[in-house]
Every structure is written in structure tokens, then in C-alpha cells.
């Protein structure tokens, strides 16, 4: 047990260092970067469903599940993505690997109350783009855009059983991180280029509330859930530098610190609107489950004044998810594969981002396996996702990606009274 705790702490420290630059998406230029999937590998493999709850798994986005918790659980995951970026006349391949999350959950009262805590990514920024145009004088203008950084969340959650089959929960999430953007512009036959560098140090809180009602009908269970992730009003402490550079070498000639206090931009706010998710599902415990979820967010009210891009607008966002799992026979002794949990799902996200007057959508097909290891229902979870985001229309970029996720979920019988006969 001590070794597991040491490993968790080491992973925690590694995560804090490696969470940045977890994307190569050009769409991370906008908003607060590319939004990450705040779900465990188990949930991701079912199309991202967060409504299914049981007594042995951590659910990062559904705190009501903690009211069912029977065992101490800790979970961590890594992922790797292979990405193809395509424009109308060109394409390139890239890849990125990152640590997904670390979480620990503790039952305070057996299947009545639990708590969890950990760290998870919220967004990632990592892009390098070049735009070439012709100005009114017929000169070629080359502009390079670079960005890096991202936001993470440290969270604490608790959940309770209100009455039989009815559970509620709440999470407090603390955001921290930084976003850095730079723009370098060179005009043909002009001796010096220009540079504009901006940095935002971001922090703040939001809250997540969950309610689940899971009545049983014989061997089967109906799963219903409502989750509300409240509006995040984050504080952004900003810096900006402008200056000139040599086009041939990229060397800065003269850099000036912008007085953001005079512009009333030294301290600004980032508003991330409330997200509401409704879920409905049906299944047989430890055998099979199928469910669907719908989420909506008034993303048209998103605000990030200091890092706003000119050719961008925001609209209300929504997402649709369908998924489930199947276990042939979890008690099987003869066949290991009969005890494996097989998961699959599909999702469609209308991201709320409008670039060059085109709405950006993200579609993915997911599948995966939960492989039992050791005792106490511990398992190795492997998830796969094939997806596509964006379009080549309107001078945009289409991303095609394959994602591999590997998660470990360990369970232990801590804080449980031993009975002596």
C-alpha cells in the first residue's frame, strides 16, 4: 500500500510538469485552448457517458457516485494521440502523449458517503500556424502564430445516499495554469518585423453538482442523472510585450512592456458558462448497460477579453453521447475473456466555436476493455477513439485522430471494520 501511495505522489508531481503542451490542435488558438475530456478511461470508452455509477469506480464528472462507494479507489491514466491535420491543399501528421488524470476516492460510510480528490486537465494550448496574405500595396505579409500552456483543475468531491437509489454529490474545482500567445509578422521589403507576445496567469473556482436516481426492476436497473457544472469566473493576470525583430534571424531588436494598467487589461476575467447534462440508461448490474446523454451550454456567453481572436465568434454548445458495456460472465473461472468488460460508444460535440463563419464540430467513435487484475475488482482499462474535428472549408483545418488511453484502477479495503467470529 505504501508503494502505491509513493507511486501516486510521484505521478502527481510528474503530472504538474507534463500537463502543458498536451495538444497540437490549431483550434487550441481559441478560447482557453482545446478542452480536454474530464472523464475516466472507462467513461471515455462509452462515448463519454458520465451517468453510469457503481460501488467500485471513480467517476470524475459525477460526484453523486461517491454515495455508492464501497472500496477505497485510486486511478490514473495516460493517453497517446496520432493526428493528421489537413487543409484544402496540404496535410501533415503529428502526435502527442500526456498524463490524463490522477484521483483517489475514499468511502467514509460504506455505500452511504464518500469523498474523492485529485488533479485533472481542463484545457491545453499548443499550436504553430503561418498565414500568408497580400496587403493593399501588393506586398506579401507572413504572420506566424504560436501558443502554449493550458489550465488544470485540482478537485475535491463528496457524495451521499439520500435514500434508497437516490444519491447527490458536489465538487469544488480550483483552476490554475497559464496561457501564452505570440504573433510575429513580416512584410515583404520592410526592414523590420513586428512581435506581439501575451501571457495570462489564470486561477479561479467552479462547482459541479450531481444527482442520480437508479430504481431497480428485478435484475435490471434504470439509470437517470442530472449534472450541473456551474459558471466559472476565472481571474486572469496579464502581461504583454511588443517590439521589432529581424526577419532573417528572428532576433528581437527592441521589446517594450505594454502598460496594461492604463488600458484596464492588467486584470481581466474569463467567463466559462454553465453546462447542464441529462442522462438516461438501462442495464443489468455487472452484465450489461446502455445509455444516452445530452449536454448543453450557453457558450455564446463565453468571455476572454485579453486573448480574444478577431476571426472568432461563439455560439451555444451541445453534445450527444450514446454508449454502454457488456460483461459475458464476471464470475467465470474457465475463461479469462468472459470476465473482461467490453465497452463502446459514439459522441457528437457541437463545440460552440465559430471560425471564419464556420461552426466547428467534433465526432468520435469509442471502444475499449476493462481487464481484471488482482483482487477487489481492480482493473486495467484500455480505451480507443477514432474521431474527426473541423473542416477544410473556409480555409480551415480538419483534424483526424486516433487516441489510445490506458488507465489503472486499484481498489483496497481501507477503513472497513474487520469482523472476528
pLDDT of residue 367: 97
Q: Is the pLDDT of residue 417 over 70?
A: no
Q: Would the pLDDT of 19 be above 70? A: no
pLDDT at 309: 85
Mean pLDDT of 167-175: 97
Within a domain: 76: yes
- Inside any domain, residue 289: yes
Q: What is the CATH number of the domain that holds 360?
A: 2.40.160.60
Instruction: Using DSSP bridges, classify how beta strands 72-86 and 312-314 pair: parallel, antiparallel or unpaired.
Output: unpaired
Q: Is the pLDDT of residue 114 over 60?
A: yes
Domain assignment present for 368: yes
pLDDT at 10: 43
State residue 415's pLDDT score.
52
- Between residues 414 and 139, which one has the greater pLDDT? 139
d(Cα 62, Cα 194) in Å, to the nearest integer?
47
pLDDT at residue number 332: 84
Tell whether pTM > 0.85: yes
User: 226 lies in a domain?
Assistant: yes
Q: Flag whether 291 is in a domain.
A: yes
Q: Rounded CA gap, 400 and 398, in Å?
A: 7
Q: Is residue 79's pLDDT more than 80?
A: yes
- pLDDT computed for residue 392 by the predictor: 92
pLDDT band at 4 (very low <50, low <70, confident <90, very high): very low
C-alpha cell at position 398: 480538419
Q: Is residue 305 part of a domain?
A: yes
Say how far apart CA 319 and CA 407 lie, in whole Å: 24
User: Is residue 163 predicted with pLDDT exceeding 80?
Assistant: yes
Expressed as residue numbers, the domain containing 259 is 2-412
Asked whether residue 417 is assigned to any structural domain, the reply reads: no
pLDDT at 83: 96
Task: Give the residue-averaged pLDDT of 84-89.
Answer: 90
What integer best gives the mean pLDDT of the chain? 90
Counted domains in the chain: 1
Q: What is the pLDDT of residues 283-319, one digit of tens each?
A: 998 899 999 999 999 999 999 999 988 888 999 999 9
Q: What is the pLDDT of residues 227-269, one digit of tens each?
A: 999 999 999 999 999 999 887 776 777 889 999 999 999 999 9
* Half-sphere exposure at residue 154, Cβ-oriented, CA atoms within 13 angstroms: 9
Nearest to 32 by CA among 234, 240, 183: 234
Give the pLDDT of residue 250.
67
Give the closest residue to 66 by CA, choosing from 114, 21, 120, 131: 114
The pLDDT of residue 5 = 38
Lowest mean pLDDT among 7-21, 92-106, 313-327, 401-415: 7-21
Residue 419 maps to a domain: no
Amino acid at each position: 500500500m505504501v508503494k502505491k501511495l509513493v507511486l501516486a505522489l510521484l505521478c502527481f508531481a510528474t503530472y504538474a510538469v507534463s500537463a502543458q503542451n498536451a495538444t497540437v490542435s490549431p483550434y487550441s488558438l481559441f478560447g482557453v485552448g482545446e478542452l480536454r475530456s474530464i472523464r475516466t478511461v472507462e467513461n471515455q470508452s462509452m462515448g463519454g457517458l458520465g451517468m453510469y455509477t457503481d460501488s467500485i469506480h471513480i467517476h470524475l464528472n459525477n460526484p453523486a457516485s461517491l454515495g455508492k462507494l464501497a472500496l477505497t479507489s485510486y486511478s490514473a491514466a495516460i493517453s497517446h494521440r496520432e493526428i493528421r491535420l489537413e487543409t484544402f491543399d496540404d496535410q501533415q501528421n503529428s502526435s502527442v502523449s500526456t498524463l490524463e488524470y490522477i484521483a483517489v476516492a475514499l468511502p467514509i460510510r460504506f455505500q452511504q458517503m464518500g469523498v474523492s480528490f485529485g488533479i485533472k486537465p481542463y484545457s491545453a494550448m499548443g499550436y504553430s500556424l503561418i498565414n500568408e496574405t497580400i496587403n493593399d500595396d501588393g506586398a506579401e505579409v507572413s504572420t506566424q502564430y504560436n501558443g502554449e500552456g493550458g489550465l488544470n483543475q485540482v478537485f475535491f468531491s463528496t457524495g451521499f445516499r439520500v435514500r434508497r437509489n437516490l444519491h447527490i454529490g458536489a465538487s469544488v474545482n480550483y483552476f490554475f495554469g497559464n496561457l501564452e500567445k505570440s504573433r510575429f509578422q513580416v512584410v515583404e521589403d520592410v526592414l523590420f518585423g513586428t512581435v506581439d507576445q501575451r501571457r495570462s496567469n489564470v486561477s479561479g473556482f467552479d462547482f459541479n453538482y450531481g444527482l442520480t436516481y437508479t430504481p431497480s426492476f428485478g435484475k435490471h436497473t434504470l439509470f437517470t442523472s442530472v449534472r450541473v457544472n456551474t459558471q466559472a469566473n476565472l481571474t486572469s493576470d496579464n502581461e504583454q510585450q511588443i517590439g521589432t525583430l529581424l526577419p532573417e534571424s528572428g532576433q528581437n531588436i527592441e521589446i517594450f512592456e505594454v502598460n496594461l494598467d492604463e488600458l484596464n487589461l492588467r486584470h481581466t476575467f474569463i467567463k466559462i458558462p454553465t453546462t447542464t447534462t441529462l442522462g438516461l440508461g438501462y442495464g443489468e448490474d455487472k452484465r450489461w448497460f446502455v445509455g444516452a446523454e445530452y449536454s448543453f451550454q450557453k457558450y455564446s456567453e463565453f468571455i476572454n477579453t485579453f486573448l480574444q481572436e478577431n476571426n472568432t465568434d461563439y455560439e451555444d454548445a451541445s453534445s450527444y453521447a450514446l454508449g454502454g458495456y457488456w460483461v459475458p460472465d464476471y464470475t467465470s473461472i474457465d475463461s479469462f475473456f468472459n470476465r473482461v468488460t467490453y465497452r463502446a460508444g459514439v459522441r457528437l460535440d457541437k463545440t460552440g466555436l465559430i471560425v471564419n463563419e464556420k461552426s466547428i464540430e467534433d465526432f468520435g467513435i469509442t471502444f475499449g476493455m476493462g481487464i481484471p487484475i488482482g483482487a477487489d475488482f481492480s482493473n486495467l482499462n484500455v480505451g480507443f477513439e477514432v474521431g474527426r474535428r473541423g473542416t477544410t472549408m473556409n480555409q480551415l483545418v480538419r483534424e483526424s485522430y486516433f487516441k489510445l488511453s490506458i488507465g489503472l484502477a486499484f481498489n483496497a479495503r481501507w477503513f472497513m471494520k474487520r469482523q472476528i467470529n
